[in-house]
Chains A and B, each alone.
Chain A
Amino acid sequence: MTEPIIQVRDLRREFVVRSPAGRLRRARTVVAAVDGLTFDLAEGAAVGYIGANGAGKSTTIKMLTGILVPTAGTVRTCGLDPVRRRRELARQIGVVFGQRSQLWWDLPLAESFRALAAIHRLPEQSWPARRDELVDRLDLGGFLATPVRQLSLGQRIRGEIAAALLHSPRLLILDEPTIGLDVLSKERLRVFLAEQRALHGTTLLLTTHDMDDVQRLTDRILVVDHGRLVYDGTLPGLSAQVGAERVMVVDLVEPLPDLGAIDGARRVAVESDGMRHRLAFTPERTTAGAILEAIGRRGQVRDLAIEEPDIEDVVRRLYLAQVSDDGPAAAP
């Protein structure tokens, strides 16, 4: 059996928070951002690491990449102790911090690739081919000569991802890569990432707030809440466990007090005297199209919207389920 690409055992990270208490004294509180995490990631896996803000996602990533020392427990990334062998590890992993840039701000994008090729000591004869592949697949050609500071967010993020992949890392860690992107840009990015994985077998660890990212890109999810792992399994498993339902909101032309029973859907609410209906459903059991068709037989639909379950909601449900079961959530 090969060694997992990431191995985390009883990982804990505390921060000391000092707050003023009285005129001169300062209260010292210890907060555990990560509290007893244990998991393995197999080479080639694609894993979504999700949780609400402050759940400990970024802290975990910092420990995985060696820029933060664990308070207790152990981490091994690519078989290395990340803190001690940070530079060696940096050659094998690519990291995109959604809120930070690794590009040279006042130089054209192409120059950043040149710098990174030198930093990673990529062979002069082979790296341009890799760059051209990334330029082609991420559609960077139109703005390679544009200074990074003038790029749009979507262009910059694509540039960041290309920068993280230039040295063909074994492991790609993306911290909120699609944050702030429009639907089309998100979609293109997802297609690209799926393709890279298929082509190069790159292991992918992704933190996100976007359920679609998780659904499209990952085959396993880890849900973290208050620094603890509350779920480890597949997305359908998670939906089954917490009932992560989508909600269809339908506006009718003529008010209808009751739509009656619709197979696979659950009535959530009727609003505006029957003008607006809310129906919850799980994508595993029925489709939005089937529900719409059923409604269409009863009345004329004027407008509709579908609300996705958000991560916060899923985590809250998980937490509630855990409290009521009084035990950890198990993977189905």
Chain B
Amino acid sequence: MRLFATLVVLGFRRWSTYRLATAAGAFTNTVFGLIKASIMVGAIGAAGGELAGYDARTGATYAWLVQALVATVNVFNWSELALRVRDGDIAIDLARPVDPQLAYLAGFVGRAIHQLIPRGGPPLLAGALVTGLALPSTPLPYLLGAVSVVLGVCVSFGVWWLVNLSAFWLVELRGVLTLNVVAMAILSGLAIPVHWFPDWLATLAALTPYPSILQTPVDIVTARVEGTAALGELAVQVAWLAGVLLLGRLVFARGARKLVVQGG
């Protein structure tokens, strides 16, 4: 536990050294929040003031919250492991008395904690000023929401971990990484809420871990799902998390074995 905590703190510190990048990211998140909130409000207005349970105010809130969390759950890029596999530094990780998946998860969580306030605050502040935010007034949704965000971060890590592991077999990874970004951006609810998807796409999304990364935390924080339904959503997240982490362990073991047996 001390190990995990130390690595989380280090992950946090690593990111806290890049202040300018964080500020630039927060600015971008806010600008895109403004654009997306406008589109949401416009689309909901065109649909007659309500669309799949979102009115203008809750729709705008959805857009702002997604923008506030996008950096924390890390939709856009994580290729640290892949780079280490490619240049052979993974040997250093293997020669340490620590589980690599656990160590990298800790770093990922540390990064997420760092991004939460500086990348999440500005879009929410802008949202409160520009469109107003429709947020619950009881503490429970926030409490469950916090748990859901943590799970979302970990599921995101599990997915990125798997994608990165393809470095054991492929030399050029840009294709795989881009495919994951696109899939994550659409199926996680980043572009539009999963609840707006046509049935076939909603079904497809439900068969992937992506909604657990962003859509579920936002649904729970905004109390779109409450009580036992919220607990059910958390259970789905836990199941996906267990699935991706377990699969990640198996694939990593195969990859490491290939490296160790064939010699990279």
Interface of A with B (CB < 8 Å)?
13, 15-16, 59, 62, 65-69, 83, 86-88, 90-91, 95, 97, 100-102, 104, 106-107, 111, 114-115, 118-121, 124, 147
Contact = CB atoms under 8 A, between A and B. Distances in A.
B263 interface: yes
19 contacts: A13-B263, A16-B262, A67-B94, A67-B95, A67-B260, A69-B260, A69-B261, A87-B97, A87-B98, A90-B95, A95-B95, A97-B92, A102-B96, A106-B17, A107-B14, A115-B7, A118-B2, A118-B3, A119-B3
B93 to A, nearest CB: 9
Most buried by A among B95, B96, B260, B261: B95
B97 A90 contact: yes
B91 A111 contact: no
Nearest to A117: B6
Given A66-B95, A97-B91, A115 B6 contact: yes
Contacts of B95: 65-67, 86, 90, 95
B97 A120 contact: yes
* Interface size bracket, B side: 20 to 34
B262 A107 contact: no
Nearest to A83: B260
Interface in B1-58: 2-3, 6-7, 10, 13-14, 17
A66 B263 CA distance: 12
Nearest to B261: A69
Contacts of A59: 263
The 6 closest A-B pairs by CB, nearest first: A118-B6, A90-B97, A118-B3, A87-B97, A119-B98, A91-B97
Contacts of A101: 89, 92
A106 B14 CA distance: 6
A86 B13 CA distance: 29
B97 A118 contact: no
Contacts of A88: 97
Contacts of B262: 16
B6 to A, nearest CB: 4
Contact of B92 (A69, A83, A100, A147): A100
Most buried by A among B17, B88, B96, B262: B96
Contacts of A91: 97
B3 to A, nearest CB: 5
A19 to B, nearest CB: 16
Interface string B237-264: 0000000000000000000000111110
A69 B92 CA distance: 16
Contacts of A106: 14, 17
Contacts of B259: 67
B94 A86 contact: yes
Nearest to B99: A87
B97 A115 contact: no
Contacts of B14: 104, 106-107
A104 B261 CA distance: 28
Interface string B86-128: 0011011011111000010000000000000000000000000
Contacts of A62: 91
Given A97-B91, A100-B88, A119 B10 contact: no
A45 B17 CA distance: 43
B79 to A, nearest CB: 15
A101 B87 CA distance: 12
A88 to B, nearest CB: 7
Nearest to B103: A119
Nearest to B4: A118
Contact of A100 (B17, B89, B103, B260): B89
Given A16-B262, A118-B6, A67 B97 contact: no
Contacts of A69: 260-261
A325 B7 CA distance: 58
Contacts of B13: 107, 111
Contacts of A100: 88-89, 91-92
Contacts of A65: 95
Given A69-B260, A147-B17, A121 B91 contact: no
A137 to B, nearest CB: 24
B97 A68 contact: no
A91 B95 CA distance: 9
A47 to B, nearest CB: 20
Nearest to A16: B262
A147 B16 CA distance: 13
A104 B80 CA distance: 12
Nearest to A65: B95
Contact of A107 (B3, B17, B92): B17
Contacts of A102: 92, 96
Contacts of A119: 3, 96-98, 103
A186 B97 CA distance: 30
B146 to A, nearest CB: 26
Given A87-B96, A101-B89, 12 more contacts: A15-B263, A67-B91, A67-B94, A83-B260, A87-B97, A95-B95, A97-B91, A100-B88, A106-B14, A107-B17, A120-B97, A121-B3
